[in-house]
C-alpha cells in the first residue's frame, strides 16, 4: 500500500479552480498524510533549505546538491530577500546527528524569466551558490542530472523526497520521507480533463491518481530511476488546491532537462 507526503513550504503554489491561475498559499492543509520514512541518508543529494527567523534557522524548502558548491531549488522558494542557509547530509531536521554540513548561501540565481505573478508560465527554478564547497562522503553526494531535453516515458518509476507535514495542521516531519510518484506523460497531463494548458512542455507531472503519492517540500527533487541509476528529473513546483493526491491533478515539477544549458551557464 502506497503512502503519501504533503507539501509544506513558505510559498507553496496551488491552483484554486479549473480556470484559475496558480497562486501562493503557505499551507494547503494536509488532506493526504503519512509517507514512508526514508533510510538515513539514502538520498544524499537532498538538502534542507532554511531561512533566518529571529535568531534561529527554519526549514522552508527542499533542494538538490548538483555541484559541490551549488544547490538547485525552486524560484518561488527564494524570490524574497532572506538570509539563507543549506543543510547537507541531514535526516532529522530537529536533531544534530553529526553527519550534517551547514553552508551559507552567498548568492541566489533565479531564472531570469521567472515571474511570480505568472506562475503557470513556468521557469520555476533557481541556483544557490554556497559560501563554501560541500565535502562529498557517504552522506553527501552529487545528484545525477538528465541530459538536455530528455523526456521520461509515462509511468516511469520515481520518488519524491522531503520533510512534509504528517497531518493537517501538524508539525513538519522530523525525518526525511519519501513517496512513490510515477510520471504522467505531457500528452495526458496537459489534456482538458487533467491540468490542461496550465502544464507546459518545460514541466513534468507525476502522481495524480488514488494510488499516487504527494510531495514533500517545494524545491526538492523528483528522483527517477533511469538506466540503472537515480536521476533528478524534477524540481517540485505546484499542486492543486483540491489536495496533493487529487485525481487527474498530478504534482507538477520544473523539468530539469529543459534547464541544463542555463544551469551550466550560471554555475561554470
Residue 205: partners with Cβ closer than 8 Å, 6 or more residues away: 183, 184, 185, 186, 188, 189, 194, 195, 199, 250, 251, 252, 253
Nine-digit cell string for 200: 507546459
Other C-beta atoms within 10 Å of 109: how many? 18
Pairwise CA distance, residues 53 & 66, whole Å: 27
Pairwise CA distance, residues 69 & 92, whole Å: 23
Positions marked active-site: 76, 124, 218
Pairwise CA distance, residues 74 & 9, whole Å: 11
Distances (CA, A) of 23 to 14, 82, 159, 244: 6, 21, 25, 15
Q: Assign residue 195 a region: left if phi > 0, alpha if psi is -120 to 50, beta otherwise?
A: alpha
Amino acid at each position: 500500500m502506497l503512502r503519501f507526503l504533503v507539501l509544506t513550504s513558505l510559498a507553496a503554489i496551488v491552483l484554486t479552480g479549473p480556470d484559475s491561475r496558480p497562486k501562493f498559499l503557505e499551507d494547503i492543509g494536509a488532506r493526504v498524510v503519512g509517507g514512508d520514512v526514508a533510510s538515513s541518508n539514502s538520498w544524499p543529494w537532498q538538502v534542507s533549505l532554511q531561512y533566518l527567523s529571529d535568531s534561529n534557522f527554519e526549514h522552508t524548502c527542499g533542494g538538490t546538491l548538483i555541484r559541490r558548491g551549488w544547490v538547485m531549488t525552486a524560484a518561488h522558494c527564494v524570490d524574497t530577500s532572506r538570509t539563507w542557509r543549506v543543510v547537507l547530509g541531514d535526516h532529522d531536521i530537529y536533531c544534530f546527528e553529526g553527519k550534517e554540513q551547514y553552508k551559507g548561501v552567498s548568492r541566489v540565481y533565479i531564472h531570469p524569466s521567472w515571474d511570480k505573478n505568472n506562475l503557470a508560465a513556468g521557469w520555476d527554478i533557481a541556483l544557490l551558490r554556497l559560501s563554501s564547497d560541500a565535502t562529498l562522503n557517504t552522506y553527501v553526494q552529487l545528484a545525477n542530472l538528465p541530459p538536455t531535453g530528455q523526456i521520461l516515458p509515462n509511468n516511469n518509476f520515481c520518488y519524491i523526497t522531503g520533510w512534509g507535514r504528517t497531518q493537517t495542521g501538524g508539525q513538519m516531519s522530523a525525518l526525511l520521507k519519501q513517496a512513490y510518484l510515477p510520471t504522467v506523460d505531457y500528452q495526458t497531463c496537459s489534456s482538458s480533463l487533467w491540468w490542461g494548458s496550465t502544464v507546459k512542455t518545460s514541466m513534468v507531472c507525476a502522481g495524480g491518481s488514488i494510488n499516487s503519492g504527494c510531495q514533500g517540500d517545494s524545491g526538492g527533487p523528483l528522483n527517477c530511476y533511469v538506466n540503472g541509476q537515480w536521476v533528478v528529473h524534477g524540481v517540485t513546483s505546484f499542486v492543486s488546491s483540491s489536495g496533493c493526491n487529487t485525481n487527474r491533478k498530478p504534482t507538477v515539477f520544473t523539468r530539469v532537462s529543459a534547464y541544463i544549458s542555463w544551469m551550466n551557464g550560471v554555475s561554470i
